[in-house]
Structure 1
Amino acid sequence: MAVSTRLRRVSAGSRDTLTTHPPSTGMGWSGHDFPHPPGRRRVLGDAFAKGADPTTPVQNMLAVARDLGPVYEILALGRKFVFVAGVDLVGELCDDKRFVKTLAPGVHDLRMFVGDGLFTAHTDEPNWRLAHDLLVPAFAKPAMRRYHDVMVETTDELIDVWEEAGSAGHHVDVSPWLTKLTLESIARAAFSHTFASFETEEVDPFVTTFVASMSYAAGRSNLASLPLVGRHLVRRHDRRALDRHRYIDDLLQRIVAERAASGEQVDDLLGRMMQVPVDDAGTMLEAQNVRHQILTLLVAGHETTSGALSFALYHLTREPEVLARVRAELDEVLGTDPTATPTFEQVPKLRYLRRVVDETLRLWPTAPGFARSPRETTVIGVDGSAGVPGGLTMTPQDSMLVFIPQLHRDPDVWPDPDRFDPDRFLPEHNRARPAHAYKPFGTGERACIGRQFALHEAVIVLAKLLHRFDIMPEPDYQLTITERLTLMPVGFRVGLTRR
């Protein structure tokens, strides 16, 4: 496959940077064939095999990929995607000296909305390094201590809403309310902005707009690959998507303009991006990139966390022994007062609850994959782990997608892998596992920059909700998951009784 070369001008440092990346419409591997699921159809390939729901590719793959070996391919409308789930191969791909993050088509297409934000940037784009190094200190322990009170405040506001619903005998729809909570937490903590999320049951237009943008990005490459009509349809739908997304562009510009007009020196992520130089020459992060980072952090800081919290509550309502152990730990650490709030120092003491979060992310990593390409031509699986004698040659134009839900269900690493068991994450088990068997936040320098924020928030929210309420699910509910670029339970409703 030919390499696409693009010239991109970046203002930081007044440099022109030539960046070379694989095309977004495929993942390389020309001339190679790998195992694939049964039922491949002409033109449509594997992703649209008979009986498969094209809107749930992650769940489809979990159903069919277990017997395909450590490396396999999915063909979709003529495009080949090569997946890896074997822990030994994943370990090789996670070596930042040999491999680098590449953008799968859905992530690449998200660039039309987010540009070179932290999640969607190519690693060789200067703005990625500048923003990454600028923002890393904003997620260190001293900063987390500041965010703690914001997380508690927003959780208390959600509890007020849920208490009112519970006293009225109403069930609450879990995921939308938790999405309000996590959006409000990251907006207040990082940008000192409020969406007034708890003043109405309606979903904020920011959420509905960006969910539509993510859903479009996730399927855009499939639309573009349709024979004869694909390019025309993409041009038309791109215009509509960008018109719809203008609401978010206007919002971001307003957030930045209000901060600039206030003249305040606020110690949050926005203040850091607007006030701290990115180099010794005093260069500031360019204005457009500041907006890209705001949007990236808002979305990444709420969408995945609300999904993880929703999955955790789903499993806890179906695992009474696990829930009882959580409650016992909460009573021991926080006391028996159901209104108690964990202090910053108490959060790490909720070790079993943290293991519940870890096990939830094992089964349902809400960002289900990441793609890797070699920095230069190399051979992987020389020890036979690729299923090819002598190993498998990869060029920089070839990419492998690490399919995290399958990696996290490898029975050689995770016995009885579909069972929900937080004790898998006891220290002795963590030490015994291969280093790269658990990857819910990605890998290396391109791992999620806000993972400590997400984990701290998840423990606080679950601690306060479970200490305050008895939570009863609707008895006939069957787990239903919607897929955009992230995974989210839908239709999961619970009744609430104050403890």
Structure 2
Amino acid sequence: MATTTELPIPQPPTHLFTGNLPDTDPSHMLRSYQTLTTHYGPIFALDMVRTRVVYIGSQSLATSLCDESRFTKTVAGALLQVRNLTGPGLFTAHSWEKEWALAHTLLMPAFGPLAVRRMFPDMLDVAGQMLARWQRFGPEAEIDVSDAFTRLTLDTIALCAFGYRFNSFYREGMHPFVTAALDALLESGRRAGRTGLETRVRRWAGERYERDIEFCWGVCDELVRERKERGRADGEGEQDLLGIMLGARDERGEGMSDELVRYEMLTFLIAGHDTTGGLLGFTFLMMLKHPRVLHLAQQEVDEIVGDGPLSVNHLDKLKYIEAVLRETIRLHPTVPNIGLHTKSGEDELIGGGKYRIKAKDTAILGISAIHRDPAVWGEDANEFRPERMLNGGFEALPPHSWKPFGNGVRSCIGRGFAWQEATMAVALILQRFQVEMADPSYEMNIRQTLTIKPVGWNIKVRLRSGRGLYSGLLTTEPSVVNGTPAKAASQKPQTATGLAPLAIFYGSNQGTCKSFAETLQNSASSHGFSATVGTLDSATEHVPKDRPVVFITPSYEGQPPDNGRKFVTWLEKIQSEGVPMQGVKYAVFGCGNPDWVNTYHRIPRLVDESLWKTGAARLCPMGLGNAAGDIVGAFDEFSELLWQTLSRSAGETSIRKEELKVEMSVDRPEMLGEKEMTLGTVRQHTQLADTSVGPEKKLMDVELPKDAMYQAGDYLVVLPTNHRHAVQRVLARFELPVDALIKLSGTKKSFLPHDRTEYAFSLLAAYVEIGTPISRKQVEFLASQTTDPKQKAELERLGGSVYESAVLSKRASIIDLLEQFPACELSFAAFLDMLQPMKPRQYSIASSPLVSAPGTATILYDVLTAPSLYNHSTPFHGVASSYLSNALAGGKIHAYIRPTATNFRLPIDPATPIIMICAGTGLAPMRAFIQERAAIAQAQPNLKLGAALLYFGCRDPNKDYICRSELEAWQRAGVVSLRPTFSRKPKESGGFKYVSDRLEAEKGEVVELFRQGAKVFLCGSASKLAKSINELLERTVMEHRQVGVEEAREWLAKQKADRYVSDVYG
């Protein structure tokens, strides 16, 4: 009977005939539930036509559902369809079925602690096969993580439980069993979302489904037949799981039928490998995304295991790795949901009588949501922090807050087996290898069947110094039965005859430093060297001592690039521990933006000083480039000094000259992009502001591919093309027709199409940056190619003392000077060789996925069009903004989602106050945040939102106050408090001209909100808005904390990790 406190369960509006089916994605229910939880809170109902589903996503509500006297596991939806494959196996059986009770009773002892420990040698055997395969493929081979861990866990459960070897590591492809089982699981999921009629109509799918099931059954039946023939089914002596299945009897003398044995074998082969394989995939992905954690885990292995054999006794001592696994499976439980129904067949009230679960409801226990409940895990619930599981933290958790293995009597009986296998695998890999991501920009792509795992990502492994082929293994050689080892890849380096070796390591997020590394590599042979190029992370523990080493790295707001974080963490460690680096000869070139005053060039300086302090020898002084200035010129100067130093040491014994060659062809080329991107479709393109007070401002909605998901705070990265006018200027200067076909050869620049033809227009539009400012060295080179004495002299003057004022400050490009000095006889090949690769641009997303059409992201941008600073008669067009501005509704653009690298995310708890500071199109992420808060407020009317202040700067309230009507509507709804400032009409904004003026006047309110836990967001120009706000905040901290400027800066720097986050641009 309902009480007076009973509340309705929130539910999205239903659709005619289809209920809430359109609100979910059957192929990725986890993602659907996550979106709905953000929108409707920790409990919501869905009308799934055949049944009502109630999703539970908080620890407090989960406590009621985990009461086994009131709720029990339900087998419905996709799980019910999987019974076609596994019957009443342990995972898919109904709790009332006698087969479940029998198997549970007989098989529990097989996974007891002692039994699992006895399986360790077989586990080690299979792991040895995987490690040997990785080592034989070499350090440059890319290893498919999902594939590797699937092979490992399948072979392990098969050998340990059934005494059978799939020999997956001696096959090119996956064992057919895996393919058949996966296809059967996927089809089961699809069938759960179809009507019976639709399933019958899809006869071809049904026939394949039946073939897959019969194949899986046949594998298991053959194993049973072979075991019976060998006479090992008598139930006597020490036996594996299959022996117990065939020989064990319960207290009534009842044993398992051959059919039930088959079902249980399939249950263990599928669930027993898929869950552990997913856990290992998530674990390494999280460690590689958090190099500090990876370093600490590897350090623990070194301290406890060393380079000797790993034993089962070591595993319990690996406390940090245990914490890493616990934290990984908290964030990414491989079985993310559990279905339950009332045990009594009557309605049940949960949450202290607040919510009613009806007898016919399917209650979904959202493990992934419970594991991120801020009431248990805090405001950093979404962060990967293994330390929360240490020093009693795990043991102090409230009941039912960490449930990756299920609930109660229906929880996974193979938990101990999976944990031992995962711990062993992590320890062995870290003991033997340095691991790096093949593509550091990879963002998690989850495949969901009954379980989830990250797919589509690769790693590279490099044998650690002092580690042998069988380090960590008790055996001397991995076992193989009826298997043929995979052919090892040759690792013999290919170098040019007679050239000295040189190693170049770069870090890069946006391609600049990678381009510099390739430029050095291309010119190496002409200076007597054969150069190899790798990422900074690939140098971890492997800085060569037998050759000169060059490090090229940027600094992103004081942080290392994605593919250099592991290396920097390791470098800091060896410096603190005093590890000697004598014998290393190195040089460093760094890039940075001076707008980040306190962290300018922090990472290159750290690399240089760490190596120097540990005994390495500098080849030449560190080179530093300014991303806002002549960065190419700075690199040219560094390169010249480096080559001078290296040439002296090499004796200039082998000098080669290579040139880029251009050939004409009539073959039509295929368009090639610099980076593999997705295609987005422009759905809406709207002008937002009057251009009389500033640049044109536009709003664009972009529909992305189905699997391109984002969160408020993320970026849309766009790969543009040069404006038509810029391309035509180049074609005219070199007298090339638009449809000229070009073939390039003799270059190692990866961003140019090699040995293939390309239309001249496409080549210039898509592959290179035409408008990049010309460097001082390039001006000097143009002068050397000029025949007219007067023009030559003027170019020499421009490349001299007036370069910065006359060329760089006016952002003159190569084509600007070529047009001004027609006597310069620069060839088209030389021109191409001087250009930088086309770089992607990122735009903060201005929409929330809770509100936008599925898969659609909105951006706001300025259209940059003005006379050139160098030649006022020539128009300047912003590369990316003109590319976007010219896109028509229905047209395609090259784009992809990039998650924020900082903590630029709304607080998990909507009651947390936020302070948003922005100007112009810097409104974009703030609009997304406010839009999301409005959606949450509408879906949960009883929820109290925290205060939200928006400080927004523009010029005129009637001309460029973008998105004004919707902002004011949100203010009326109580979602945000608007604090605009108008620089052209300050009287209409309370006398405040700039954002910093108003913020200073209202700092008392801001300080009080910060004391209440508010999070501060800033988006805008680094040189204007960010600088003025930082100066204001420094003064405010000095005043309120009674400290000096250095202490204030140090305090602010600490807040930038979470409480004060910025997204700034030049």
Structure 2 CA distance for aligned equivalents of residues 383 and 34 of structure 1: 14
The 5 A counterparts of 1:368-379 are 368-376=336-344, 377=346, 379=348
Give the superposition deviation at 1:70. 3.0
1:366 maps to 334
Are residues 1:354 and 2:319 paired?
Answer: no
2:271 maps to 300
Query: Is the CA contact 2:59–2:370 (under 8 Å) kept in the aligned structure 1?
Result: yes
Amino acid at match of 2:106: L
Q: Which of 118, 121, 127 is 1:146 aligned to? A: 118
Amino acid at match of 2:213: H
SS of the aligned residue for 2:453 comes to strand
1:401 maps to 364
- 1:114 and 1:33, CA in 2 relative to 1: closer, same or farther beyond 3 A? farther
- 1:171 and 1:262, CA in 2 relative to 1: closer, same or farther beyond 3 A? same
Give the superposition deviation at 1:433. 2.2
SS of the aligned residue for 2:40 comes to coil
The 5 A counterparts of 1:244-259 are 244-259=212-227
SS of the aligned residue for 1:206 comes to helix
Structure 1 CA distance for aligned equivalents of residues 17 and 310 of structure 2: 56
Structure 1 CA distance for aligned equivalents of residues 146 and 222 of structure 2: 28
Q: Which of 352, 358, 361 is 1:383 aligned to? A: 352
Q: CA offsets per residue over residues 285-335 of structure 1, 9 Å max, x none?
A: 111001100110111110010001001000111101111110111111102
Give the superposition deviation at 1:46. 3.5
1:198 maps to 169
1:4 maps to none
Query: Is the CA contact 1:159–1:465 (under 8 Å) kept in the aligned structure 2?
Result: yes
Query: Is the CA contact 1:184–1:195 (under 8 Å) kept in the aligned structure 2?
Result: yes
1:486 maps to 451
Structure 1 CA distance for aligned equivalents of residues 175 and 193 of structure 2: 29
Q: CA offsets per residue over residues 85-105 of structure 1, 9 Å max, x none?
A: 121221111122222111131
2:22 maps to 48
Query: Is the CA contact 1:86–1:410 (under 8 Å) kept in the aligned structure 2?
Result: yes
Structure 1 CA distance for aligned equivalents of residues 275 and 413 of structure 2: 13
Structure 2 CA distance for aligned equivalents of residues 323 and 462 of structure 1: 10
Q: CA offsets per residue over residues 151-202 of structure 1, 9 Å max, x none?
A: 11111110001111224x2110011111000000000000001111111130
Q: CA offsets per residue over residues 91-124 of structure 1, 9 Å max, x none?
A: 1111222221111311111001110000000111
Give the superposition deviation at 1:427. 4.6
Amino acid at match of 1:95: D
Query: Is the CA contact 1:278–1:285 (under 8 Å) kept in the aligned structure 2?
Result: no
Structure 1 CA distance for aligned equivalents of residues 349 and 420 of structure 2: 36
Structure 2 CA distance for aligned equivalents of residues 112 and 306 of structure 1: 24
Structure 2 CA distance for aligned equivalents of residues 247 and 360 of structure 1: 34
- 1:382 and 1:189, CA in 2 relative to 1: closer, same or farther beyond 3 A? closer
Give the superposition deviation at 1:41. 4.1
Query: Is the CA contact 1:104–1:370 (under 8 Å) kept in the aligned structure 2?
Result: no
Query: Is the CA contact 1:70–1:85 (under 8 Å) kept in the aligned structure 2?
Result: yes
Structure 2 CA distance for aligned equivalents of residues 203 and 400 of structure 1: 36
1:437 maps to 401
SS of the aligned residue for 1:258 comes to helix
2:552 maps to none
SS of the aligned residue for 1:488 comes to strand
SS of the aligned residue for 2:364 comes to strand
The 5 A counterparts of 1:91-490 are 91-167=63-139, 169-224=140-195, 229-233=197-201, 237-264=205-232, 267-280=239-252, 282-335=253-306, 337=307, 340-376=308-344, 377=346, 379-381=348-350, 383=352, 388=354, 391-392=355-356, 394-395=358-359, 397-415=360-378, 416-473=380-437, 474-490=439-455
The Cα RMSD (Å) is 2.0
1:13 maps to none
- 1:394 and 1:341, CA in 2 relative to 1: closer, same or farther beyond 3 A? farther
- 1:195 and 1:379, CA in 2 relative to 1: closer, same or farther beyond 3 A? same
Q: CA offsets per residue over residues 379-429 of structure 1, 9 Å max, x none?
A: 323525xxx3xx42542x333110111111111111211110112212532
- 1:342 and 1:246, CA in 2 relative to 1: closer, same or farther beyond 3 A? same
SS of the aligned residue for 1:476 comes to coil
Structure 1 CA distance for aligned equivalents of residues 203 and 102 of structure 2: 32
Structure 2 CA distance for aligned equivalents of residues 283 and 381 of structure 1: 39
| Number of residue-to-residue matches in the alignment | 451
Higher mean alpha-carbon deviation, 458-467 vs 259-268, is at: 259-268
Q: CA offsets per residue over residues 414-470 of structure 1, 9 Å max, x none?
A: 121111011221253223322101110100000001011001100000010111111
Query: Could you say which structure has the greater relative contact order, defined with CA pairs below 8 angstroms and 6 or more residues apart?
Result: 1
2:544 maps to none
Query: Is the CA contact 1:370–1:403 (under 8 Å) kept in the aligned structure 2?
Result: yes
Q: CA offsets per residue over residues 43-87 of structure 1, 9 Å max, x none?
A: 4444434xx754222123213312423321233456432111121
- 1:102 and 1:393, CA in 2 relative to 1: closer, same or farther beyond 3 A? closer
Amino acid at match of 2:404: P
1:28 maps to none
Structure 2 CA distance for aligned equivalents of residues 332 and 47 of structure 1: 53
Amino acid at match of 1:409: R
Task: List gaps (5 residues or longer) in structure 2.
Answer: 1-6, 465-1066
Query: Is the CA contact 1:45–1:78 (under 8 Å) kept in the aligned structure 2?
Result: no
- 1:255 and 1:33, CA in 2 relative to 1: closer, same or farther beyond 3 A? farther
- 1:110 and 1:258, CA in 2 relative to 1: closer, same or farther beyond 3 A? same
The 5 A counterparts of 1:5-20 are none
Task: List gaps (5 residues or longer) in structure 1.
Answer: 1-31
Amino acid at match of 1:122: H
SS of the aligned residue for 1:460 comes to helix
SS of the aligned residue for 2:53 comes to strand
- 1:382 and 1:59, CA in 2 relative to 1: closer, same or farther beyond 3 A? closer
Could you tell me the TM-score, scaled by structure 1's length?
Answer: 0.86
Query: Is the CA contact 1:365–1:405 (under 8 Å) kept in the aligned structure 2?
Result: yes
SS of the aligned residue for 1:110 comes to helix
Larger fraction in helix: 1
SS of the aligned residue for 2:67 comes to coil
SS of the aligned residue for 1:439 comes to coil
2:677 maps to none
Amino acid at match of 1:407: I
SS of the aligned residue for 2:44 comes to strand
- 1:222 and 1:33, CA in 2 relative to 1: closer, same or farther beyond 3 A? farther
Q: CA offsets per residue over residues 139-160 of structure 1, 9 Å max, x none?
A: 1122112111111111111000
Structure 1 CA distance for aligned equivalents of residues 200 and 330 of structure 2: 40
Amino acid at match of 2:458: R
SS of the aligned residue for 2:151 comes to helix
Q: CA offsets per residue over residues 13-66 of structure 1, 9 Å max, x none?
A: xxxxxxxxxxxxxxxxxxx9732347x5444444434xx754222123213312
- 1:285 and 1:413, CA in 2 relative to 1: closer, same or farther beyond 3 A? same
Query: Is the CA contact 2:297–2:321 (under 8 Å) kept in the aligned structure 1?
Result: yes
1:16 maps to none
Query: Is the CA contact 2:150–2:277 (under 8 Å) kept in the aligned structure 1?
Result: yes
Structure 2 CA distance for aligned equivalents of residues 486 and 37 of structure 1: 26
1:65 maps to 37
Structure 1 CA distance for aligned equivalents of residues 350 and 254 of structure 2: 44
Query: Is the CA contact 2:26–2:189 (under 8 Å) kept in the aligned structure 1?
Result: no
